[in-house]
């Protein structure tokens, strides 16, 4: 049975959560493998509208086990609030497990993230300010605190004593801010540990028993491949590996056990934060794409920031498909283009006298390329009530087909609205 990764293949916010929500009842296990509460997955189903940051989007299916994997960085206060909100909406979380190996976001991470952004001035990244970068940096420096540590009073105190001594030196000398209190943080995080204890587990046996039993498993991504620390538009990236390799690493599954990678792409492009965006639009066309006033407006789920918008960039789309082994594409928000008389797709870049069909790695160069566009006639009719691919206007079918041809991967799904039933399955994906 398949292990399928659902990854964001642009700059995040492609609608991965919705795809996972729809597929969850076919899976026995959903594993969120990376990122933290910088992510915001909007899921609309029969239980309501949810904006979830850490809990896997499979939580709405009562028969599915949901795991927050070892690769995730967890702000315990945010997670507890999210669980409480789910309970309030009648959602059961008995089958939620948190890897004891996952890293914990501490108050100094949030502080450092926000201070670093301030100090960067015009070099700022536009982070979500949730402590993600510093938490991953500390993990790599081996001074992180893991979820399992929160359950052991002595271990937590000893580690925190040592780490906070260093952090306080940094905060007072370098950042010129006040010291943080060991006592307060210790008690607060011990309390978090107590509240989360029933969810914390060694998730390795759960995952590998499921693999042995050959049950369908979904690996749920956060952010997008262009925000990847190695292959994204560095330094305007997040601090994790949101793609397929990160799925293996963050879940604790070998690459040979993965059967399929679904790349989720919006029918156009969006980006939050700083960094190059070759097909970025301003003006009227940007307003159409932003859908301001609608529940699915292009406003950041986590930060409320207005998203930058632009035409679909097939150069970047093909690149992320290649580096992640994407074999199936899900195109979301096709309906947003319903009123566009004509639609552009970037098929190449012009740089001086040369044409490129791949993105330059240097962010300054990428921001200077001139997109080469292919123009498509719009379909100028609503698609939100359509439930079969063949019933879409022929221009919309042609547009999707051409995107897949340019990406070089078969189509799996198309969405024409935010509801579950507005996801059209064109080819079986799980």
The minimum distance between CB 300 and ligand IMP, in angstroms, equals: 7
Q: Return the number of the residue (58 or 221) whose C-beta is nearest ligand IMP.
A: 221
Please, are residues 309 and 298 in contact by the beta-carbon 8 Å criterion? yes
SS3 370: strand
**Whole-angstrom distance between the N-terminal and C-terminal Cα of the chain?**
9
347 touches ligand IMP (CB under 6 A): no
135 touches ligand IMP (CB under 6 A): no
d(CA 163, CA 13): 34
238 touches ligand IMP (CB under 6 A): yes
The minimum distance between CB 238 and ligand IMP, in angstroms, equals: 3
Burial string for 234-253 (b: 16+ CB within 10 Å, else e) reads: eebbbbbbbbbbbbbbbbbb
At CA 268, angle to CA 333 and CA 414, rounded to 5?
35
223 touches ligand IMP (CB under 6 A): yes
Please, are residues 17 and 42 in contact by the beta-carbon 8 Å criterion? yes
Residue nearest to ligand IMP (CB): 273
58 touches ligand IMP (CB under 6 A): no
The minimum distance between CB 302 and ligand IMP, in angstroms, equals: 6
SS3 109: helix
Q: At what angle do helices 182-196 and 153-169 cross, to 10 degrees?
A: 140
128 touches ligand IMP (CB under 6 A): yes
13 touches ligand IMP (CB under 6 A): yes
Q: Return the number of the residue (76 or 273) whose C-beta is nearest ligand IMP.
A: 273
What secondary structure does DSSP assign to 267-314, as a single string? Answer: SSEEE-SSS--TTB--HHHHHHHHTTTSTT-SB-TTT-PBPEEE-EEH
71 touches ligand IMP (CB under 6 A): no
What secondary structure does DSSP assign to 59-88, as a single string? Answer: GGSTT-EEEE-TTBEE-HHHHHHHHHHHHH
User: Nearest to residue 269, comparing CAs of 331, 321, 324?
Assistant: 331
The minimum distance between CB 128 and ligand IMP, in angstroms, equals: 3
Please, are residues 64 and 173 in contact by the beta-carbon 8 Å criterion? no
Judge whether 53 counts as a catalytic residue: no
Task: Give how many residues touch ligand IMP by CB under 6 A.
Answer: 21
The minimum distance between CB 54 and ligand IMP, in angstroms, equals: 12
Residue of the chain from 32, 130, 231, 333 that contacts ligand IMP (CB under 6 A): 130
The minimum distance between CB 222 and ligand IMP, in angstroms, equals: 6
Cα-flanking dihedrals φ and ψ of residue 316, to 5°?
-70, -35
Residue of the chain from 38, 57, 64, 269 that contacts ligand IMP (CB under 6 A): 38
Judge whether 13 counts as a catalytic residue: yes
363 touches ligand IMP (CB under 6 A): no
242 touches ligand IMP (CB under 6 A): no
264 touches ligand IMP (CB under 6 A): no
Q: Give 279's Cβ-side CA count (13 Å radius).
A: 30
Q: Which stretch binds ligand IMP (CB under 6 A): 55-63, 80-88, 219-227, 286-294?
A: 219-227
Q: Return the number of the residue (116 or 374) whose C-beta is nearest ligand IMP.
A: 116
Where does this chain bind ligand IMP (CB under 6 A)?
Answer: 11-13, 38-40, 125-128, 130, 132-133, 222-223, 227, 236, 238-239, 272-273
- Which amino acids are annotated catalytic? 13, 41
């Amino acid at each position: 049975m398949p292990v399928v990764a659902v990854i964001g293949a642009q700059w995040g916010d492609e609608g991965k959560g919705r795809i996972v929500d729809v597929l969850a009842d076919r899976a026995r296990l959903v594993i969120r493998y990376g990122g933290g509460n910088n992510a915001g997955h909007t899921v609309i189903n029969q239980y309501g509208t949810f904006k979830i940051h850490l809990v896997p989007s499979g939580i709405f299916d009562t028969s599915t086990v949901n795991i927050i994997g070892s690769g995730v960085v967890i702000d315990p206060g945010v997670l507890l609030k999210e669980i409480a909100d789910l309970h309030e909406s009648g959602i059961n979380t008995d089958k939620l497990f948190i890897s004891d190996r996952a890293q914990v976001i501490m108050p100094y991470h949030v502080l450092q993230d926000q201070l670093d952004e301030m100090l960067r001035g015009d070099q700022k990244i536009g982070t979500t300010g949730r402590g993600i970068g510093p938490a991953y940096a500390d993990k790599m420096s081996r001074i992180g605190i893991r979820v399992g540590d929160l359950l052991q009073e002595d271990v937590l105190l000893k580690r925190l004593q040592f780490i906070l001594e260093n952090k306080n030196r940094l905060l007072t000398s370098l950042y010129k801010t006040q010291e943080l209190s060991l006592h307060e943080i210790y008690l607060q995080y011990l309390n978090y540990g107590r509240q989360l204890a029933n969810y914390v587990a060694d998730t390795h046996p759960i995952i590998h028993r499921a693999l042995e039993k050959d049950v369908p498993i979904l690996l749920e991504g956060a952010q997008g491949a262009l925000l990847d620390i190695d292959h994204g538009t560095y330094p305007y990236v997040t601090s994790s590996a949101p793609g397929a390799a990160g799925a293996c690493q963050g879940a604790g599954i070998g690459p040979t056990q993965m059967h399929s990678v679904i790349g989720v792409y919006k029918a156009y492009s969006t980006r939050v934060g700083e960094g190059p965006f070759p097909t970025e639009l301003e003006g009227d066309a940007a307003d159409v794409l932003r859908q301001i006033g609608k529940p699915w407006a292009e406003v950041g789920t986590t930060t409320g920031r207005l998203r930058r918008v632009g035409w679909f960039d097939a150069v970047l789309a093909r690149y992320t498909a290649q580096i992640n082994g994407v074999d199936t594409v899900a195109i979301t928000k096709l309906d947003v283009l319903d009123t566009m008389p004509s639609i552009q797709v970037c098929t190449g870049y012009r740089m001086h006298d040369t044409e490129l069909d791949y993105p330059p790695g240097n962010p300054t160069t990428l921001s200077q390329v001139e997109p080469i566009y292919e123009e498509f006639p719009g379909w100028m009719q609503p698609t939100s009530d359509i439930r079969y691919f063949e019933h879409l206007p022929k221009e919309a079918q042609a547009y999707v087909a051409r995107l897949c041809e340019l990406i070089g991967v078969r189509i799996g799904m198309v969405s024409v609205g935010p509801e579950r039933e507005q996801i059209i399955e064109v080819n079986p994906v799980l």
